[in-house]
């Protein structure tokens, strides 16, 4: 696969399985309805494992603009490739959320709560406070990117098998830091599906909450770049 296709397919798999587990938990009349936060966190972790494993060899499995920009910021990735990687990630996220909508179409129709419908696509704060929401996303993404950079270092790298420890980091971030904002920690993961939510003909849907949407885009980029600079400073 070309790097563009790799990032597209890997991100599509990530979002299909990640947003899929959210749909299974929050939408009405599913087999997993109300199964809880731990199920969502484990589902996202295994979604990350799948996406990273699929795309590691062809593109390095960024699957996340925060990772792509962080690597470019410290000279480990070409800035000239950043736009195509981010485009592939956002488009892959849009495609993945489309697949989730198709798979759970009947359950969207059975769910009248607009907040639950939106939650399948994008994140939102438990307590809305821009300063604290930004800080939470920065911290979560900082830990993710710093861990990934250390795992990918030559002395520690396991190649495609790095997918498993990355999945464990995402699980830890979800369980430990996911409560305040739903741990976007990935601009494409939030923006692409939010765009699809706004476009798709979902029965009884509410607004896409664009007023919050900039936080899970900007804050993860900041967290990722800070992590990259720290990694570079101590290595």
pLDDT tens for residues 168-214? 999 999 999 999 999 999 999 999 999 999 999 999 999 999 999 99
Task: For residue 106, give its domain range.
Answer: 3-234
108 neighbors 183 (Cβ within 8 angstroms): no
What are the CA-CA distances from residue 45 to residues 41, 132, 208 (Å)? 6, 24, 25
Alpha-carbon distance of 183 to 200, in angstroms, equals 24
Evaluate if pTM is beyond 0.85.
yes
**Is there a contact between 93 and 12 (Cβ–Cβ < 8 Å)?**
yes
Distance in angstroms (rounded) separating the CA atoms of residues 195 and 166? 27
* Least confident among 49-63, 155-169, 188-202: 155-169
**What CATH number does residue 142 fall under?**
1.20.1080.10
What pLDDT does residue 13 have? 98
- Count of structural domains within the chain: 1
Q: Where are the alpha helices (DSSP H) in 30-111?
A: 37-59, 65-73, 82-103, 105-109
The rounded distance, in Å, linking the Cα atoms of 53 and 44 is 14
Q: What share of the chain has pLDDT > 90, as a percent?
A: 91
- Alpha-carbon distance of 217 to 190, in angstroms, equals 7
- What is the number of helices (H) and of strands (E) in the chain? 11, 0
- Residue 48 near residue 167, CB atoms below 8 Å: yes
């Amino acid at each position: 696969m070309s790097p563009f296709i790799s990032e597209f397919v890997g991100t599509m798999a990530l979002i299909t399985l990640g947003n899929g587990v959210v749909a299974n938990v929050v939408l009405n009349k599913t087999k997993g309805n109300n199964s809880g936060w731990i199920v969502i966190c484990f589902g996202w972790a295994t979604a990350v494992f799948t996406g990273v494993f699929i795309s590691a060899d062809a593109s390095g499995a960024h699957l996340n603009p925060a990772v792509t920009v962080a690597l470019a910021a410290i000279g480990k990735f070409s800035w000239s490739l950043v736009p195509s990687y981010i485009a592939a990630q956002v488009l892959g996220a849009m495609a993945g959320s489309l697949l989730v909508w198709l798979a759970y179409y009947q359950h969207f129709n059975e769910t009248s709560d607009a907040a639950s419908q939106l939650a399948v696509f994008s994140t939102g704060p438990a307590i809305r406070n821009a300063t604290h929401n930004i800080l939470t996303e920065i911290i979560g993404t900082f830990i993710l990117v710093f861990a990934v950079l250390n795992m990918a270092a030559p002395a520690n790298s396991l190649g495609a098998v790095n997918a498993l420890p990355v999945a464990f980091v995402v699980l830890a971030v979800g369980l430990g830091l996911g409560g305040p904002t739903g741990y976007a920690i990935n601009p494409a993961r939030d923006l692409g599906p939010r765009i699809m939510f706004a476009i798709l003909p979902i029965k009884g849907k509410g607004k896409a909450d664009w007023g919050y949407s900039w936080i899970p885009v900007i804050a993860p980029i900041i967290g990722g770049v800070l992590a990259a600079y720290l990694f570079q400073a101590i290595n």
